[in-house]
Chains A and B, each alone.
Chain A
Amino acid sequence: LLLLLYTNAYGLYHMIIAFDELKTDYKNPIDQCNTLNPTVEKVKKIKRVKIAIKLVLPEYLIHFFFCVMFFCAAEWLTLSLNLPLLAYHVWRYMSRPVMSGPGLYDPTTIMNADILAFCQKEGWCKLAFYLLSFFYYLYGMIYVLVSS
């Protein structure tokens, strides 16, 4: 179980890094876009949003899976730490814009400064949280290994 947890944490770590790269990526291409030609730029933008869609859902699923694992392992403390985020994810997905496919971001509103800033902030906060929990899991795993 711990091994699984470790791998998962590792995978999550990478996933989050990628996710955050995407997030921080949000702005740079946009700022630099003056030199890009419009069509390319637009395609890039839409692709970015799609990547976000592809990344966000796995992130939510992995996180959900983690919580289930913690629940099974009766790791109540860890679980309680993760529950708020899980609840947030559920809320976030429920209140997403009207959309036929899965996804969170609406390409027509994502460029609104408020929404963009919010998404970036959200990305950074979650990255910090995931990083902290990664080290916490690592610590937990090593502690278990050593003590056993």
Chain B
Amino acid sequence: MSAPGFTNLNSSISYGQNPATPHRNGPAQTYQPMHPPTGCYGAPPQQQSYPTIPAHPAPVPSKAPITNSAHSANYYRSNHHQQQQQQHLSQHHVAPSPYSASPSSAPPSQTYATLPSSAPPPSNAHYSQQPLQQQHHPPYAPPGSYYGPQSYHAPPAQQSQQQPSLVPAPAVGPGAPVYPIVSYPSAPGSSQFGTLSSSQSAAAHGVMPTQMGAPLHQYGTTRPASTAAVQPGYGVAPPSHLAPTVNGQGGTGHQHYDQSQPASLSYDSYGDADHPPSGTPSASVHSSPGHHQGMQYGYAANSGASSASAATSGPAAAPSSSSSEDDDDDDDEEDEEAGGDTSSSSTGSASPVPNSYDNLEGGSYPDSMPPSNHMTNQAAPYGNYGYPGMPPAYHQGPAAVTDSSPSHDPYGQSSYQQYSQPFPNMSQLSAALGGLSGVPELEVAALRPVNLLQERDLLPHRPLEAPEPNLSPDLKKVNCCPQSFRCTLTSIPQTQALLTKARLPLGLLLHPFRDLQQLPVITSNTIVRCRSCRTYINPFVTFLDQRRWKCNLCYRVNDVPDEFMYNPVTRSYGEPHKRPEVQNATVEFIASSDYMLRPPQPAAYLFVLDVSHNAVEAGYLKYFCESLMDNLDKLPGDTRTRVGFLTFDNTIHFYNLQEGLSQPQMLVVSDIDDIFIPSHDSLMVNLKESKELVKDLLTSLPGMFSESKETHSALGPALQAAFKLMTPTGGRVTVFQTQLPTIGAGSLQSREDPNQRSSTKGVQHLGPATDFYKKLALDCSGQQIGVDLFLLSSQYTDLASLSCISKYSAGSIFYYPSFHCTQNPTQLEKFQKDLERYLTRKIGFEAVMRIRCTKGLSIHTFHGNFFVRSTDLLSLANVNPDSAFAVQMSIDDSLADSSLACFQAALLYTSSKGKRRIRVHTLCLPVVNQLSDVYAGADVQAITCLLADMAIDRSITSSLSDARDALTNAVVDLMSAYKNNVCNLQQSGLVVAASMRLFPVYILSLLKQKALRTGTSTRLDERVFAMCEFKTQPLQQLMRMVHPDLYRLDDMSDQGALHLNDTVVPQPHLLHLSADRVTRDGAFLLDCGNVFYLWIGKSCDHLFIQDVLGFPDYASIPATMTHIPELETLLSERVRAFLDWLQDKRAFSSTLTVMKDNSSAKASFFQYLVEDRSEGPFSYNEFLQHIQQQMS
């Protein structure tokens, strides 16, 4: 037994460690570096501590540890190379992860020492086992990173082995209760401490810091006392066994701590990131003991622990990491020495640990503790489901249970609890997880099967948030904001086969140039990048040691340049892992001249205005000039900013605004077949120098053409002229067009047949009629000219052709159907608001964006407005903060050798101030090999948006009905795949993972969108515009358009309200988009993204009408009302606060329309209630039945 047990220990350790490592940048990477050191280490102690030792090295590589790792490695090597390399190696494998968890190298070394001393027999066992472990480990180690893969890989046997080993240790150890705890940490010295302290402290104090909490929770949930709890959990494994190993480790750990404490303290500041890892190891350890029965258990525990513990446990690890090289060496030595005194050391160590905890927790994780208790139940299930590492058996078990009771609880918590009880280990683990963070709960909930035919209330109360990837807390914390960078699957499937099986699209949704509240800007002579794949250094790289880092995309080992060793934030030297580049997933570099093809050009804006009779009729010119006049000083740019104007009807008019002229000169070019520029240097003028002339022009422009009778429009030649005018500098061309271009190059014919608007057969002419605009756009793109199109027309203008000019030059498109300055005040208001935002928003010129991803993944297709210059490079003549991109990905090679997949989008642009800048976003996601995990991590909103993009492509290249069928099939496929592969219960009805429960609603909404609907009268231009919007709108905005948010406003309470500054923002619940939710006695707000509808029911409360709208009763509300008066009543303030709050979250302001029941606008309101059978063919129920039919 003992021998097996030992082996088990090793294995167990490895597990724990693995989780820990993952937290760091690249677990796998860290791992390898670690090994050599560990080998050295192991030699000296001989039997001992292998497990612990390995752990330490691993952590080091990952981050801060760099220094540590180096030290340890050197140290070890010098000391002992020969003897027990094998053993060490095995140990290393195991150990690395724990260590990695704890950044500090020093602790690990100590742990090693202690281990040997404490349990000589174990050591023997280890030896024997070690070979095994080594074998196993390599697989683990490489993946290194996270819990999941490693745990999976590990043969079941290993787990069992691990467990036994742990068990023996406790027996030897001093206190049974304490020991168990210790045993967990055993692998990583630091982690042990944490656990120990936690257990003790838990008993004594009751309240523990977060880290403490994690371990405690696991146990605690089941049993308050740490020891007691452990035993039950471990129950499977022989309890007695635990003591020895634990003691040894614990002892080592303690010593380490004592010595290293100073170091740890210093780390604290650093530390959240480091700390988490340490916590994980401990957690993992715990789990392993429990696992005797099956690997699965252990795995679950590990995963849970790692995730949960990361936050709290961090402190212990931190100390170790913090220690300097010298410290490390010392620690190592001491540890070795101490090895003999396992028992004594363990007790002593406890005190130091708490301190570290306090420090850590105090600042960073105050909240984690409380939740843990509540969440234990939920957490337990989570452990089972959520982690990739989970054995299949496990998954099935829990899943089955849930399946049986799918409909019970919306969140299925109750069912989960029941199940969890049979498996104490699980529950404990989960509890720990819960304590750390709320995520596990979410994950569990995400996998709960939902029978769509039975459950009706699917919408959450608040708008859906992006699911959080199943990463360790420290990685999570630095991960890229989901608003900038989002993946459809937050758990990346390991192989293309798995992806195909899941029937979900894999893709990214990017909003790279989003307006950010805070953005670290880095000025540095050398921008550190991978030498082979050119990836920018990011938080997910691994530092092998002080001088080298390993790229997380291509795994190349790179040198750390000298300059990078200096940290400008803390003004300290030798801490490359604390540089802002490595602490933030979104950073911006000021680029050097290496990143320029030519000196940064000044911001240049050219306005191309349609002044034909049609335009004059529409009357936009006056409002444009007013708006530009108001915002002239707010145009992004510096003193070099250049502006120009160009108007056209059947001729082209240029304006000479050269400084010194008394008034603007108009130059008319009537030869539209061969456009030439009449004057080269005076048409684009410096805004600052010629401001008076520009203002003159803007004042006189609306009057100059008021008598125009010219009905032709020479848009093509005007664009050619604009292209010639802008060629030297590049910049932005803004085109205002009000009718179909009729003469000159690029003239178009009307292709729309009004009788076909509501045809169900398919829609023609979704593609361009000519490639003139496309070719011109490519030319523009080559000269760094972006063309933005404002289309204000009441008739068909062939947007399908015109939009090409913006599509391929990375412009944006605005469309105002039926625009008229007096007859359509709503459109006018929208136009004015959009224009203001448009003129003042940030802009980047001469931009390119490259998207890199982990080896094995490749980019399949891009969606958005740009020109694709290479398989991973987008050329963006202009980049604006309101446009987003989508990318379809495919998996070329198996990702089995890594547990993390990373994506990096780097946007290189010239700011309006003439600075060359690079904005880098990095997203890190776990790789999983279980289908259920893929579903648990599915991001239904992102999937919907990506499918929408794909459907748009399909409808243009193939046909609209094809695209609609494809969308329906996507739902059918998903349902079938889920039913056949994940939930094994033969269950009638439509069952889908809870994470995807809104998928059918969203797809149904998509099918009813203007872009994709059939059977409802839709103008071709509006349809094409909706398609363009789908391609370019950021996800949040798009989702509001696809599936508007419906709130009831008349019974809002302050419950759950947000308090921002001095205002109270109520948070009404989301309602389903169904007419039966809209009652006559209520007032409802429908948030459609770019427009709010306030629906006033017929018998709406008079109080609401009086307080909010300012009218005595329903009858006196005017038919058209677009503003809410500022009344001094509480209700009015609440409503306005809520509207403002909604408004603040979007770039373009939305207009508000008050609608009365029975008003003519009713139809336009009810068309948004997508769950009803308004005009489309399906209601939600019918759609579900249709799906069900298709499945059978």
Would A41 and B861 count as touching, CB distance under 8 A? no
Known: A113-B858, A113-B861, A114-B861. A108 touches B808 (CB 8 A): yes
Indicate if A42 sits at the interface (CB-CB under 8 A). yes
With A34-B534, A98-B767, A98-B769 as contacts: A111 and B774 at CB distance below 8 Å: no
> Measured between C-beta atoms, what is the minimum distance from B552 to chain A in Å?
17
Q: How far is the CA of A97 from the CA of B768 in the complex (A)?
A: 10
Q: Does B873 contact A (CB under 8 A)?
A: yes
B774 CB contacts on chain A under 8 angstroms: 108
Give residues of chain A (32-48) contacting chain B, Cβ–Cβ below 8 Å.
Answer: 33-34, 37-39, 41-43, 45-46
| A148 CB–B CB distance under 8 Å | no
Quick one: CB contact mask for A95-136 with B, threshold 8 Å, 1 for yes?
001111000000110011110100000000000000000000
B869–A38 CB distance below 8 A: yes
Binary per-residue interface labels of chain B (190-232) against chain A in the complex, 1 for a CB within 8 Å, 0 otherwise: 0000000000000000000000000000000000000000000
- When distances are taken between beta carbons in the complex, the residues of chain B under 8 Å from A108 are 774, 778, 808, 867-868
Contact A113 B767 (CB under 8 A): no
Complex: A42 Cα to B769 Cα, angstroms: 26
What A residues does B782 contact at CB under 8 A? 39, 42-43, 46
Separation in Å of the A106 CB from the closest CB of chain B?
Answer: 8
A37-B597, A38-B597, A38-B873 as given contacts; A111 in contact with B868, CB under 8 Å: yes
Say yes or no for A30: interface residue by CB 8 A criterion. yes
Kindly provide the distance from the CB of A126 to the nearest chain B CB, expressed in whole angstroms.
23
Chain A nearest Cβ from B766, distance in angstroms: 12
Mask for B839-871, Cβ within 8 A of A = 1, else 0?
A: 000000000100000000011111000011111
B709 in contact (CB, < 8 A): no
What distance in Å separates the Cβ of A82 from its nearest Cβ neighbour in chain B? 29
B861 contacts across to A, CB distance below 8 A? 112-114
CA distance A59 to B768 in the complex (A): 28
Q: Which of A37, A42, A46, A113 contacts B859 (CB 8 A)?
A: A113
Interface residues on B, range: 20 to 34
* B775 is an interface residue with CB less than 8 A from chain A: yes
Which B residues touch A97, using CB under 8 A?
771
Judged by DSSP, the binding face of A is helix
Query: Is B875 at the interface (CB under 8 A from chain A)?
Result: yes
Q: Shortest CB–CB separation between residue B601 and chain A, in angstroms?
A: 14
Taken together as a complex, chains A and B put the C-alpha atoms of A97 and B782 apart, in Å, by 21
Measured in the bound complex, the distance between the Cα atoms of B858 and A31 in whole Å is 12
Within 8 A of A (CB), among B214-270: none
Across-interface contacts of B859 in A (CB, < 8 A): 113
Contact of A38 with B871 at beta-carbon distance under 8 Å, contacts A100-B775, A108-B808 already known: no
Which residues 748-780 of B sit at the A interface, judged by CB distance below 8 A? 767-772, 774-775, 778
Q: How far is the CB of A31 from chain B (nearest CB, A)?
A: 7
B890 CB–A CB distance under 8 Å: yes
With A34-B534, A38-B848 as contacts: A100 and B873 at CB distance below 8 Å: no
The B801-834 residues at the A interface (CB cut-off 8 A) are 808
Question: Which B residues touch A45, using CB under 8 A?
Answer: 869-870
Interface residues on A, range: 20 to 34
Q: Give A42 to B875 CA distance when docked, in angstroms.
A: 9
Complex Cα distance, B771 from A45, in Å, reads 18
Scoring B533, B858, B867 by chain A CB atoms within 10 A of each residue's CB, the highest score goes to B867
Chain B 75-97 interface mask (CB, 8 Å, partner A; 1/0): 00000000000000000000000
CA distance A30 to B869 in the complex (A): 9
Taken together as a complex, chains A and B put the C-alpha atoms of A108 and B862 apart, in Å, by 11
Q: Contact: B771 with A98, CB < 8 Å? A: yes
Q: Please, which residue of chain A has its CB at the minimum distance from the CB of B767?
A: A98
Please determine whether B597 and A100 come into contact, CB atoms closer than 8 angstroms.
no
Smallest CB separation, A41 vs chain B (Å): 6
Which B residue's beta carbon lies closest to that of A32?
A: B870
The answer for the CA separation of A112 and B534 in the assembled complex, in Å, is 23
* A30 CA / B873 CA spacing, docked (Å): 10
**CB neighbours of A99 from chain B (8 A):** 771
Residues of A within 8 A of B767 (CB): 98
In the complex, the chain B residue whose C-beta lies closest to that of A39 is: B597
From residue B904, how far is it (CB to closest CB) to chain A in Å? 13
Minimum CB–CB distance for A105 against chain B, Å: 12
B873 touches A33 (CB 8 A): yes
Contact B869 A113 (CB under 8 A): no
Within 8 A of A (CB), among B593-638: 597
Please give, as numbers and ranges, the residues of chain B lying within 8 Å of A107 by CB-CB distance.
778, 867
Across the interface, do B870 and A30 meet the contact criterion of CB distance under 8 Å? yes
- Smallest distance from the beta carbon of A125 to chain B beta carbons, Å? 22
Q: Are A100 and B869 in contact (CB under 8 A)?
A: no
Report chain A residues within 8 Å CB of B868: 108, 111-112
Docked Cα-Cα span, A39 to B867, in Å, equals 13
Q: Specify which chain A residues have a CB less than 8 angstroms from the CB of B768 in the assembled complex.
A: 98
Q: Tell me how far the C-beta of B955 lies from the nearest C-beta in chain A, rounded to whole angstroms.
A: 15
Instruction: Report whether B875 and A100 are in contact in the complex, using a CB–CB cutoff of 8 Å.
Output: no
> Roughly how many angstroms separate A122 CA and B237 CA in the complex, as a whole number?
62
Contacts of A42 in B (CB 8 A): 782, 869, 875
Task: Tell me if A100 and B848 are in contact (CB < 8 A).
Answer: no
User: If A100-B771, A113-B890 touch, does A41 touch B869 (CB 8 Å cutoff)?
Assistant: yes
State how many angstroms separate the Cβ of B33 from the closest Cβ of chain A: 27
| A100→B801 CA distance, assembly (Å) | 13
- Which of chain B's residues has its CB closest to A34's CB? B534
Shortest CB-to-CB span from B889 to chain A, Å, is 10
A113 to B892, CA, bound (A): 12
Asked if residues A38 and B875 are in contact (CB atoms below 8 Å), the reply is yes
Residues in A with CB closer than 8 Å to B534 are 34
- A56–B453 Cα distance when bound, in Å, is 55
Q: Would you give the 0/1 interface string for A63-97, flagging 1 where the beta carbon is closer than 8 Å to chain B?
A: 00000000000000000000000000000000001
Inter-chain CA distance A31–B861, complex, in Å, is 16
Contact call B860/A113, Cβ cutoff below 8 A = yes
Q: Which residues of A contact B875 (CB under 8 A)?
A: 38, 42
**What are the residues of chain A within 8 A of B871 when measuring CB–CB?**
30-31, 111, 113, 116
Q: Find chain B residues with CB under 8 A from A98 CB.
A: 767-771
B896 to chain A, nearest CB (A): 23
- Chain B contacts of A113 at CB under 8 A? 858-861, 871, 890
Contacts of B771 in A (CB 8 A): 97-100
Q: What CA separation (Å) do A113 and B506 show in the bound complex? A: 14
Q: Quick one: closest A residue to B808, CB to CB?
A: A108
Please give, as numbers and ranges, the residues of chain B lying within 8 Å of A37 by CB-CB distance. Answer: 597
| A111 B775 Cβ-Cβ under 8 A | no
Report the Cα distance A100→B861, complex, angstroms: 25
Closest-CB distance, B867 to chain A (whole angstroms): 6
When distances are taken between beta carbons in the complex, the residues of chain B under 8 Å from A41 are: 869-870, 873
Chain B residues whose C-beta falls within 8 Å of the C-beta of A100 in the assembled complex? 770-772, 775
Kindly state the separation between the CA atoms of A107 and B782 in the bound complex, as whole angstroms.
13
- B166 to nearest A CB, angstroms? 49
- A128–chain B nearest beta-carbon distance, Å: 25
- Chain B contacts for A38, CB-based, 8 A: 597, 848, 869, 873, 875
Q: Which of B1124-1172 contact A (CB under 8 A)?
A: none
* Chain A: CB-nearest residue to B532: A34
- How near does chain B come to A50, taking the closest CB pair, in angstroms? 12
Residues in B with CB closer than 8 Å to A39 are 597, 782
The residue in chain B whose Cβ has the minimal distance to the Cβ of A107 is B778
CA distance A114 to B950 in the complex (A): 13
Which residues of the other chain, A, contact B869 by a CB distance below 8 angstroms?
A: 33, 38, 41-42, 45, 111
Q: In the assembled complex, how far is the CB of residue A91 from the closest CB belonging to chain B, in whole angstroms?
A: 16
User: Smallest CB–CB gap between B355 and chain A, Å?
Assistant: 49
16 residue pairs bridging A and B, Cβ less than 8 Å apart:
A33-B870, A34-B533, A37-B597, A39-B597, A39-B782, A41-B873, A43-B782, A45-B870, A46-B778, A46-B782, A107-B867, A108-B778, A112-B860, A114-B860, A114-B861, A116-B871
Not counting A97-B771, A113-B890, a sample of 19 additional A-B residue pairs whose C-beta atoms are within 8 angstroms of each other reads A30-B870, A33-B869, A34-B533, A34-B534, A38-B875, A41-B869, A41-B873, A45-B869, A46-B778, A98-B770, A98-B771, A107-B867, A108-B868, A111-B862, A111-B868, A113-B860, A113-B871, A114-B860, A114-B861
Give A contacts to B, CB under 8 Å: 30-31, 33-34, 37-39, 41-43, 45-46, 97-100, 107-108, 111-114, 116
